[in-house]
Structure 1
Amino acid sequence: MGPMPDRREKILAVSAELFATKGVASTTVRDIGEAADVFSGSLYHHFKSKNAIVAELLTRYMNDIQRRFAEVVERSQSPQEVLRGLILETLVIIEQHPHPTAIYQNDRRYLRDNGLLEPVDHASRSVREYWMTAIRAGVADGSLRDDIPAEVFYRSVRDSLWASMHWPIRGGYSTGEFADLLTRLFFGGFATER
């Protein structure tokens, strides 16, 4: 194995950062080549198009989320433990994959218009199932309340987690501390017990 895989990884890393900061539509193959120190022609040796780079970044991203969520389910003993794990892993994913996270969140129109959103949305639906399965199991075993629809709980948690990457206070907490705070808020609410 020579420098080829390294060059391919460098192209992916550089592209991810450019897409996240400039937007996918505004990033050209020339931009990527210059940033990765690769001629455009040689770049096409690794990827047939800019969209092929985007597709690979998002596929790796979604595969990592699926792998992490499957591990959470595997090691958890209860629905609440699964949900705690999913909350933590989502925050870890945002932290470890800031560029694909930004691409997925900020460039949805580009992804949709270029046929790149459907594969990601398909993977995203199976990620959603990890949440919904745990929530329904918690309602069924009585550990979670049944007077709030599972879908409302799921979307509230999911949207809060993804939005938190933009919160100015986010940097004041470690990932574990922040996951713990949000878990306590979602499971316990904000009102004191009377």
Structure 2
Amino acid sequence: MEDALSPTPERREKILAISAELFAAKGIAATTVRDIGEAAGVFSGSLYHHFKSKNAIVTEILGDLMNDVHRRFARVAEHTRTPRETLQGLIRETLVTIDQHPHATAIYQNDRQYLRDNGLLEPVDSASRGVRDYWMTAIRAGIADGSLRDDIPAEIFYRSVRDSLWATMHWPIRRGYSTPEFADLLAKLFFEGFAARRD
């Protein structure tokens, strides 16, 4: 056990990673500062040199998740030429984000009541509304240029795609596909449906 009186970025990142894993596995409420300290190999009191509270750790974990989503989506929007390319990129990058932040994703999905009760949900939901703008801009552009159908409200398409993508972290079959393969399959389903083609 080491005393973290001299905080370092590496130790801080280690604490964040271990905390995220514990929160995802046990729930935030059931995870104590002592649990985190023991798993991170530091005295629990020393954690306060890095973070003001357990909830401050949660805030940073979820903030990192949302910042990464924004960075990825901004890059997609900047480097794609058509609405369909943009939407395919958003699908792919959502799956990559889930792959790279599995614990933060689980916290956001499974511990919403704790987040709400502790005033931690609104900042994440606010960031999510910014993420929504990327989707809606591309969907509306696709409707406007005729590449997407106009008889289904954009909001329904957006919510169907978004919720399906984030739910895939619970699908047992997910591990049977690489992220690019899985992204391609879902994009094909969303854009072309499941009905057999009849030429």
TM-score range, shorter chain: over 0.9
Give the Å deviation of 1:3: 6.6
**Within the alignment, does 1:167 sit opposite 2:171 as a pair?**
yes
Q: Determine which of 183, 187, 190 is the counterpart of 2:191.
A: 187
- Structure 2 distance, partners of 1:3, 1:46, is 6
> Which residue of structure 2 aligns with residue 46 of structure 1?
50
> Which residue of structure 2 aligns with residue 58 of structure 1?
62
The TM-score, its normalising length taken from structure 2, stands at 0.95
Q: Determine which of 14, 17, 32 is the counterpart of 1:13.
A: 17
**Within the alignment, does 1:69 sit opposite 2:76 as a pair?**
no
Give the Å deviation of 1:192: 2.0
Query: Which string of whole-angstrom CA distances, capped at 9 and with x for unpartnered residues, describes residues 137-193 of structure 1?
Result: 000000000001111111111111111111111111100000000000110011123
- Structure 2 distance, partners of 1:155, 1:3, is 42
Give the Å deviation of 1:49: 0.2
- Structure 1 distance, partners of 2:63, 2:175, is 28
Query: Which string of whole-angstrom CA distances, capped at 9 and with x for unpartnered residues, describes residues 26-51 of structure 1?
Result: 00000000000111111111101000
Structure 1: which 5+ runs fail to align?
Answer: none
Query: Which string of whole-angstrom CA distances, capped at 9 and with x for unpartnered residues, describes residues 69-94 of structure 1?
Result: 00000000000000000000000000
Give the Å deviation of 1:5: 1.2
Alignment of 1:32-111 (within 5 A): 32-111=36-115
> Which residue of structure 2 aligns with residue 22 of structure 1?
26
1:102 maps to a residue whose letter is A
**Within the alignment, does 1:156 sit opposite 2:137 as a pair?**
no
- Structure 2 distance, partners of 1:29, 1:18, is 11
2:79 maps to a residue whose letter is R
| 2:7–2:49 contact (8 Å) kept in structure 1 | no
- Structure 1 distance, partners of 2:186, 2:66, is 23
Q: Determine which of 116, 119, 128 is the counterpart of 2:120.
A: 116
| 2:28–2:114 contact (8 Å) kept in structure 1 | yes
The TM-score, its normalising length taken from structure 1, stands at 0.97
RMSD: 1.0
